[in-house]
Amino acid sequence: MGLVDEQSSPREPAAASGKSAAFFDLDKTILAKSSSLAFAKPFYEGGLIARADVVRSAYAQFVYLTSGATHEQMDRMRAYLSALATGWDVELVKKIVAETLDSIVDPIIYEEAVQLIREHQAAGRDVIVISSSGNEVVEPIGERLGVDLAIGTQMAIENGHYTGEIVFYAYGTGKAEAMQRLAAERGYDLAQCYAYSDSMTDLPMLEVVGHPLATNPEAELRRLAEERDWPIIDFKKPVAMQVALERAESRKAAAKAVGGAVALGLAWYAGRRSIRPL
Protein backbone atom coordinates (compact mmCIF):
# COMPACT_ATOMS: atom_id res chain seq x y z
CA MET A 1 0.00 0.00 0.00
CA GLY A 2 0.99 3.62 -0.50
CA LEU A 3 1.27 6.27 2.17
CA VAL A 4 -2.40 7.30 2.12
CA ASP A 5 -4.70 5.41 4.48
CA GLU A 6 -6.72 2.69 2.75
CA GLN A 7 -10.01 3.63 4.38
CA SER A 8 -9.94 7.24 3.11
CA SER A 9 -8.40 6.77 -0.31
CA PRO A 10 -8.23 4.49 -3.32
CA ARG A 11 -5.81 1.67 -3.50
CA GLU A 12 -2.30 2.40 -4.64
CA PRO A 13 -2.47 3.36 -8.34
CA ALA A 14 -2.16 0.27 -10.48
CA ALA A 15 0.27 0.05 -13.36
CA ALA A 16 -1.15 1.77 -16.41
CA SER A 17 -2.41 -0.58 -19.13
CA GLY A 18 -2.52 2.26 -21.68
CA LYS A 19 -1.09 5.75 -21.83
CA SER A 20 -2.54 7.77 -19.00
CA ALA A 21 -1.81 10.64 -16.66
CA ALA A 22 -2.57 11.94 -13.18
CA PHE A 23 -3.70 15.57 -12.98
CA PHE A 24 -3.24 17.43 -9.71
CA ASP A 25 -4.66 20.75 -8.63
CA LEU A 26 -2.08 22.66 -6.57
CA ASP A 27 -3.65 24.77 -3.84
CA LYS A 28 -5.14 22.77 -0.93
CA THR A 29 -4.41 19.59 -2.90
CA ILE A 30 -0.59 19.48 -2.99
CA LEU A 31 -0.06 22.66 -0.97
CA ALA A 32 -1.93 23.58 2.19
CA LYS A 33 -2.45 27.21 1.07
CA SER A 34 -3.04 29.32 -2.01
CA SER A 35 0.32 29.50 -3.78
CA SER A 36 -0.39 32.92 -5.33
CA LEU A 37 -1.57 34.56 -2.11
CA ALA A 38 1.36 33.07 -0.20
CA PHE A 39 3.72 35.36 -2.12
CA ALA A 40 2.08 38.59 -0.94
CA LYS A 41 4.82 39.37 1.60
CA PRO A 42 7.84 38.86 -0.71
CA PHE A 43 6.07 40.82 -3.46
CA TYR A 44 5.55 43.64 -0.97
CA GLU A 45 9.17 43.50 0.12
CA GLY A 46 10.20 43.56 -3.54
CA GLY A 47 8.19 46.73 -4.13
CA LEU A 48 5.51 45.18 -6.33
CA ILE A 49 2.51 45.68 -4.04
CA ALA A 50 1.44 48.00 -1.21
CA ARG A 51 0.87 47.08 2.42
CA ALA A 52 -2.89 47.20 1.89
CA ASP A 53 -2.55 44.47 -0.74
CA VAL A 54 -0.70 42.29 1.77
CA VAL A 55 -3.57 42.66 4.23
CA ARG A 56 -6.12 41.95 1.52
CA SER A 57 -4.19 38.86 0.42
CA ALA A 58 -3.98 37.60 4.00
CA TYR A 59 -7.76 37.98 4.38
CA ALA A 60 -8.37 36.25 1.05
CA GLN A 61 -6.10 33.40 2.19
CA PHE A 62 -8.13 33.06 5.40
CA VAL A 63 -11.44 32.95 3.52
CA TYR A 64 -10.02 30.47 1.03
CA LEU A 65 -8.77 28.12 3.73
CA THR A 66 -11.88 28.24 5.91
CA SER A 67 -14.68 28.18 3.36
CA GLY A 68 -13.21 27.14 0.04
CA ALA A 69 -13.41 29.11 -3.18
CA THR A 70 -16.65 29.74 -5.07
CA HIS A 71 -16.91 30.69 -8.74
CA GLU A 72 -17.75 34.26 -7.72
CA GLN A 73 -14.70 34.48 -5.45
CA MET A 74 -12.45 33.06 -8.14
CA ASP A 75 -13.74 35.58 -10.67
CA ARG A 76 -13.11 38.43 -8.23
CA MET A 77 -9.65 37.05 -7.52
CA ARG A 78 -8.91 36.90 -11.24
CA ALA A 79 -9.90 40.53 -11.74
CA TYR A 80 -7.99 41.64 -8.64
CA LEU A 81 -4.76 39.85 -9.54
CA SER A 82 -4.99 40.97 -13.16
CA ALA A 83 -5.28 44.62 -12.15
CA LEU A 84 -2.63 44.23 -9.46
CA ALA A 85 -0.04 42.68 -11.77
CA THR A 86 -0.50 45.13 -14.65
CA GLY A 87 2.84 46.78 -15.35
CA TRP A 88 4.91 44.43 -13.20
CA ASP A 89 8.41 43.73 -14.48
CA VAL A 90 8.46 40.07 -15.52
CA GLU A 91 12.11 39.48 -14.66
CA LEU A 92 11.64 41.01 -11.20
CA VAL A 93 8.70 38.69 -10.52
CA LYS A 94 10.72 35.66 -11.60
CA LYS A 95 13.65 36.80 -9.44
CA ILE A 96 11.48 37.23 -6.32
CA VAL A 97 9.80 33.85 -6.83
CA ALA A 98 13.15 32.10 -7.35
CA GLU A 99 14.67 33.67 -4.24
CA THR A 100 11.72 33.05 -1.91
CA LEU A 101 10.08 29.91 -3.28
CA ASP A 102 11.71 27.47 -0.90
CA SER A 103 10.93 29.49 2.22
CA ILE A 104 7.32 30.10 1.09
CA VAL A 105 6.48 26.62 -0.16
CA ASP A 106 8.72 24.52 2.08
CA PRO A 107 6.41 24.34 5.14
CA ILE A 108 3.13 23.81 3.27
CA ILE A 109 3.59 20.63 1.21
CA TYR A 110 1.42 17.58 1.86
CA GLU A 111 3.63 14.53 2.18
CA GLU A 112 0.79 12.27 1.04
CA ALA A 113 0.50 14.23 -2.20
CA VAL A 114 4.19 13.78 -2.96
CA GLN A 115 3.87 10.06 -2.29
CA LEU A 116 0.88 9.81 -4.65
CA ILE A 117 2.86 11.61 -7.34
CA ARG A 118 5.67 9.08 -6.98
CA GLU A 119 3.22 6.15 -7.06
CA HIS A 120 1.69 7.38 -10.30
CA GLN A 121 5.12 7.85 -11.83
CA ALA A 122 6.11 4.36 -10.76
CA ALA A 123 2.95 3.08 -12.46
CA GLY A 124 4.09 4.68 -15.71
CA ARG A 125 1.79 7.70 -15.74
CA ASP A 126 2.70 11.26 -16.55
CA VAL A 127 1.99 13.62 -13.66
CA ILE A 128 0.65 17.07 -14.49
CA VAL A 129 0.03 19.95 -12.10
CA ILE A 130 -2.62 22.37 -13.34
CA SER A 131 -3.45 25.40 -11.21
CA SER A 132 -5.19 28.76 -11.44
CA SER A 133 -2.13 30.36 -9.84
CA GLY A 134 0.26 32.19 -12.11
CA ASN A 135 2.58 30.09 -14.20
CA GLU A 136 5.62 31.89 -12.80
CA VAL A 137 4.70 30.27 -9.46
CA VAL A 138 3.26 26.96 -10.65
CA GLU A 139 6.13 26.04 -12.94
CA PRO A 140 9.00 26.21 -10.40
CA ILE A 141 6.89 24.34 -7.83
CA GLY A 142 6.27 21.64 -10.42
CA GLU A 143 9.97 21.47 -11.14
CA ARG A 144 10.80 20.93 -7.48
CA LEU A 145 8.15 18.22 -7.27
CA GLY A 146 9.61 16.47 -10.30
CA VAL A 147 6.37 16.37 -12.29
CA ASP A 148 6.20 16.03 -16.06
CA LEU A 149 4.26 19.20 -16.82
CA ALA A 150 3.17 22.30 -14.89
CA ILE A 151 0.41 24.54 -16.26
CA GLY A 152 -0.74 27.77 -14.63
CA THR A 153 -2.65 30.91 -15.52
CA GLN A 154 -0.75 32.93 -18.11
CA MET A 155 -0.73 36.67 -18.57
CA ALA A 156 0.25 38.55 -21.72
CA ILE A 157 3.62 40.32 -21.76
CA GLU A 158 4.67 43.43 -23.64
CA ASN A 159 8.11 45.04 -23.45
CA GLY A 160 9.01 42.88 -20.48
CA HIS A 161 5.97 43.82 -18.41
CA TYR A 162 2.59 42.22 -17.76
CA THR A 163 -0.23 43.93 -19.66
CA GLY A 164 -2.98 42.72 -17.34
CA GLU A 165 -4.58 40.62 -20.07
CA ILE A 166 -5.04 36.98 -19.09
CA VAL A 167 -4.52 34.81 -22.15
CA PHE A 168 -5.21 31.52 -20.39
CA TYR A 169 -7.05 31.12 -17.10
CA ALA A 170 -6.36 27.65 -15.68
CA TYR A 171 -9.68 27.46 -13.92
CA GLY A 172 -13.02 25.67 -14.26
CA THR A 173 -13.72 24.54 -17.80
CA GLY A 174 -10.34 25.95 -18.84
CA LYS A 175 -8.62 23.17 -16.91
CA ALA A 176 -10.78 20.47 -18.48
CA GLU A 177 -10.21 21.86 -21.98
CA ALA A 178 -6.44 21.94 -21.43
CA MET A 179 -6.56 18.32 -20.21
CA GLN A 180 -8.52 17.27 -23.30
CA ARG A 181 -6.01 18.99 -25.59
CA LEU A 182 -3.14 17.28 -23.81
CA ALA A 183 -4.91 13.93 -24.10
CA ALA A 184 -5.29 14.42 -27.86
CA GLU A 185 -1.66 15.49 -28.27
CA ARG A 186 -0.07 12.87 -26.03
CA GLY A 187 -2.45 9.99 -26.59
CA TYR A 188 -3.84 9.80 -23.05
CA ASP A 189 -6.94 7.71 -22.50
CA LEU A 190 -8.89 10.04 -20.20
CA ALA A 191 -10.97 7.09 -18.99
CA GLN A 192 -7.76 5.72 -17.46
CA CYS A 193 -6.57 9.08 -16.10
CA TYR A 194 -6.77 10.38 -12.51
CA ALA A 195 -7.62 13.87 -11.24
CA TYR A 196 -7.19 15.30 -7.75
CA SER A 197 -8.81 18.50 -6.45
CA ASP A 198 -10.33 20.03 -3.33
CA SER A 199 -12.88 22.36 -4.90
CA MET A 200 -16.23 22.31 -6.66
CA THR A 201 -14.79 24.91 -9.03
CA ASP A 202 -12.68 22.05 -10.41
CA LEU A 203 -15.69 19.83 -11.10
CA PRO A 204 -15.04 19.96 -14.89
CA MET A 205 -11.50 18.72 -14.25
CA LEU A 206 -12.75 15.85 -12.12
CA GLU A 207 -15.55 14.86 -14.47
CA VAL A 208 -13.35 14.63 -17.57
CA VAL A 209 -11.35 11.65 -16.23
CA GLY A 210 -12.25 8.09 -15.34
CA HIS A 211 -10.77 8.30 -11.84
CA PRO A 212 -11.77 11.50 -10.01
CA LEU A 213 -10.63 11.85 -6.39
CA ALA A 214 -11.91 14.51 -4.00
CA THR A 215 -8.79 15.60 -2.15
CA ASN A 216 -9.12 17.56 1.11
CA PRO A 217 -12.56 18.47 -0.26
CA GLU A 218 -14.64 21.44 0.76
CA ALA A 219 -18.09 20.56 2.12
CA GLU A 220 -19.98 20.78 -1.18
CA LEU A 221 -17.48 18.64 -3.08
CA ARG A 222 -17.41 16.13 -0.23
CA ARG A 223 -21.18 15.73 -0.44
CA LEU A 224 -21.05 15.32 -4.20
CA ALA A 225 -18.21 12.78 -3.97
CA GLU A 226 -20.23 10.76 -1.48
CA GLU A 227 -23.28 10.87 -3.77
CA ARG A 228 -21.23 9.73 -6.77
CA ASP A 229 -19.16 7.24 -4.79
CA TRP A 230 -15.91 9.00 -5.65
CA PRO A 231 -12.92 8.24 -3.41
CA ILE A 232 -12.25 10.93 -0.81
CA ILE A 233 -8.74 11.65 0.46
CA ASP A 234 -7.97 13.75 3.54
CA PHE A 235 -4.33 14.64 3.99
CA LYS A 236 -2.75 15.38 7.34
CA LYS A 237 -0.59 18.27 8.53
CA PRO A 238 1.79 19.54 5.83
CA VAL A 239 5.55 19.17 6.18
CA ALA A 240 8.65 20.72 4.66
CA MET A 241 8.98 19.94 0.97
CA GLN A 242 12.47 18.51 1.35
CA VAL A 243 11.23 16.13 4.06
CA ALA A 244 8.35 14.97 1.85
CA LEU A 245 10.62 14.50 -1.15
CA GLU A 246 13.27 12.60 0.81
CA ARG A 247 10.70 10.26 2.35
CA ALA A 248 9.08 9.62 -1.01
CA GLU A 249 12.46 8.89 -2.57
CA SER A 250 13.42 6.53 0.23
CA ARG A 251 10.20 4.55 -0.30
CA LYS A 252 11.00 3.96 -3.93
CA ALA A 253 14.73 3.47 -3.53
CA ALA A 254 14.45 -0.12 -4.65
CA ALA A 255 12.21 0.74 -7.59
CA LYS A 256 13.33 1.74 -11.03
CA ALA A 257 14.00 5.46 -11.20
CA VAL A 258 11.64 7.47 -13.29
CA GLY A 259 13.51 9.63 -15.83
CA GLY A 260 12.58 12.60 -17.92
CA ALA A 261 12.90 16.31 -17.52
CA VAL A 262 10.14 18.62 -16.39
CA ALA A 263 8.28 20.11 -19.33
CA LEU A 264 7.44 23.77 -19.13
CA GLY A 265 3.72 24.36 -18.97
CA LEU A 266 4.05 27.90 -20.21
CA ALA A 267 5.97 26.85 -23.29
CA TRP A 268 3.31 24.21 -23.96
CA TYR A 269 0.46 26.67 -23.95
CA ALA A 270 2.35 29.64 -25.40
CA GLY A 271 3.14 27.59 -28.46
CA ARG A 272 -0.56 27.33 -29.16
CA ARG A 273 -1.45 30.95 -28.44
CA SER A 274 1.71 32.51 -29.94
CA ILE A 275 2.38 34.56 -26.84
CA ARG A 276 5.73 35.50 -25.46
CA PRO A 277 6.81 33.18 -22.61
CA LEU A 278 7.50 34.56 -19.13
Q: Which amino acids are annotated catalytic?
A: 25, 27
According to DSSP, residue 35 is labeled T
Backbone Cα Rg of the chain = 18
d(CA 142, CA 111): 15
Other CB atoms within a 10 A radius of the CB of residue 181 amount to: 13
How far from 32 is each of 74, 237, 269, CA to CA, in Å? 18, 8, 26
Contact criterion met (CB below 8 Å) for 132 and 152: yes
Buried b (16+ CB within 10 A) or exposed e, 142-160: bbbbbbbbbbbbbbebeee
Q: Is 87 left (phi over 0), alpha (psi -120 to 50) or beta?
A: left
DSSP-H helix ranges across the chain: 40-45, 51-67, 71-85, 90-105, 111-122, 135-145, 173-186, 203-207, 219-228, 241-251, 265-273
